[in-house]
A = this chain, B = another copy of it.
């Protein structure tokens, strides 16, 4: 077993001892995914995705932008700079990913990469800590001229997140120093007694709070609180966008539902959650609003896959129940931001709904965002692709996953999330360990070491075995029973079996090495209807099994029917069969059943997990399947 680090590497979110917290995250270094769905993806992330990121950041000009900025005699002006204004943020997110990955498992090669990019950042950084290669190359000293769309705080926010990851993974280092200087520039430049502006794209709020957590320096928290509390005055507008696009229509404290650009909205909510966790006065204003927003989102504005944002136009949340599967945007980054938001709220409240939400997001809308090879990425995660689709945009799913994007936010965001994924598995309080997500893993909490054995999400049997325990005082092992599971059972080390309703179920007792708890989460195939107000899926059902949403791809119906004409012939889920297919898509469970085409034709459907679609070829696909009209 190899989960120790000294000191432990704290995870992406590490509330202070003073934070209002129902439960505390386990250090990243004390959770190790050992095999299975997520461990496989972490391995591919390390061996395929991270090196690709490094290449792309060179090929696309991100690194060159920094070198230009660093060179006083370098070219200047819009023709010298490569890519959109937020190119630096891709560097920062990728660096963050590499830092978490090194914390997971050391790598001299990756450390060398960090060194190269950190040096470029250090060289480019202005004496006062400012760093933004776009502004430095194109606009010189004319900083913060365009807070609405310039993404200067956004880029700096991602830099701070990378710096915190570096400090936690590596200790003091160049990237940490660059981050500290940038943060000090920010707190000197912005705030109630300085420049009053806010950035068009939130993320710096989360970053500043995490830096406060890492340093104990209150000015970082105060600036984050300032950004949160002054947002929502409808001052951000331009580029054909109204304040709603920038999450600036109404204050966070009075927002009842996330709206506008989905990534902006969920990043802002995550940042507000951080501020509320660390600042009691802010919590009084924000807590109810954050709870209301989350519920509204989950009930009215979230796809079954967890996907967020039904509108391409403005990459935005739609109106309540506006959830068309075909034109869904459901940006990979929005799923990631929602996981960040949910995790922060889960730590603060202990509400199992957030853990359920994280599961749905991670295993569907997020996991879909990267190919099994780790080499290609979805920006847009639609729930339906039709025949004869003519893509208007390289991001359209009909083009399949792409190696990179001109706006390349998603790929490095996937990478950092996979590298830090162990951090979302469990949390703890003094004598309690809480398991929120399931995967084969090794964990340590307060000297108590356990391992999880499971084939989740393919199978719902989870065995938690105690490997070491400091003493035999009573400790509590708490396990999430997912909302989708109505007949869970827990078998304690004495062989006592109890039924467990959705929520958290606990076993409290004295423990000894070898003690094992068996959590059984039966996974019958389900046929899920949409909310009656979701007009776009009326008359349809979706196949789910366990935490996974399923999709039907045309290539699995070689003899028809056409996916565009697919009809379920029965609404009884027991007519569908779950079938393990170790040979398919890296090993998965498919769901098969009889289907029709609405015109007399019949066939046999093979549905694959949504997150795995488009890993063979890209063709017509659908999640929501119409139910055949009764014969008349």
Contact = CB atoms under 8 A, between A and B. Distances in A.
Interface of A: 241-242, 244-245, 249, 257, 259-260, 310-314, 316, 318-322, 324-327, 384, 386-394, 532-533, 535-540, 564-565, 598, 624, 626
A394 B242 contact: yes
Given A311-B312, A318-B327, A538-B626, A393 B242 contact: yes
Q: Which of A325, A393, A535, A624 has the most CB of B within 10 A?
A: A535
A626 B535 contact: yes
A182 B409 CA distance: 46
Q: Name the 10 nearest CB pairs between A and B, nearest first.
A: A312-B313, A539-B539, A319-B389, A538-B539, A313-B313, A324-B324, A319-B386, A536-B536, A320-B388, A322-B326
Contacts of A536: 324, 326, 535-536
Contacts of A391: 244
B326 A535 contact: yes
Contacts of A326: 318-319, 322, 324, 535-536
A561 to B, nearest CB: 12
Contact of A535 (B320, B325, B388, B393): B325
Nearest to A564: B533
11 contacts: A242-B392, A242-B394, A244-B391, A260-B392, A311-B312, A319-B388, A319-B389, A321-B386, A384-B535, A532-B565, A535-B536
A597 to B, nearest CB: 10
B538 A386 contact: no
A244 B388 CA distance: 14
A568 to B, nearest CB: 12
Given A260-B392, A327-B327, A392-B260, A320 B598 contact: no
A392 B316 contact: yes
Contacts of A259: 390, 392
A294 to B, nearest CB: 17
Contacts of A312: 311-313
Contacts of A392: 241-242, 244-245, 259-260, 311, 313-314, 316
B565 A533 contact: yes
Nearest to A319: B389
Number of copies: 2
Given A259-B390, A312-B313, A327 B322 contact: yes
Contacts of A318: 326-327
A175 to B, nearest CB: 32
A311 B327 contact: yes
B321 A564 contact: yes
A319 B533 contact: no
Q: Which of A242, A327, A564 has the most CB of B within 10 A?
A: A327
A532 B598 contact: yes
A322 B324 CA distance: 10
A434 to B, nearest CB: 35
Given A313-B312, A325-B535, A539-B538, A386 B320 contact: yes
Contacts of A532: 565, 598
A321 B392 CA distance: 16
A537 B326 CA distance: 13
Nearest to A389: B319
Nearest to A245: B392
A540 B540 CA distance: 13
Contacts of A389: 319
A386 B318 CA distance: 11
A320 B393 contact: no
A390 B626 contact: no
Given A311-B392, A535-B624, A538-B626, 20 more contacts: A242-B393, A245-B392, A249-B390, A257-B390, A259-B392, A310-B327, A311-B327, A313-B313, A313-B392, A314-B393, A318-B327, A319-B326, A319-B386, A324-B327, A326-B535, A326-B536, A386-B533, A532-B565, A532-B598, A535-B626
Contacts of A626: 535, 538
A86 to B, nearest CB: 14
Contact of A319 (B244, B249, B390): B390
Nearest to A384: B535
Q: Which of A249, A325, A393 has the most CB of B within 10 A?
A: A393
A570 B531 CA distance: 22
Contacts of A537: 535
A278 B327 CA distance: 40
A260 B314 CA distance: 18
Contacts of A244: 390-392
A631 B320 CA distance: 27
A205 to B, nearest CB: 22
A484 to B, nearest CB: 24
A258 to B, nearest CB: 11
A119 to B, nearest CB: 33
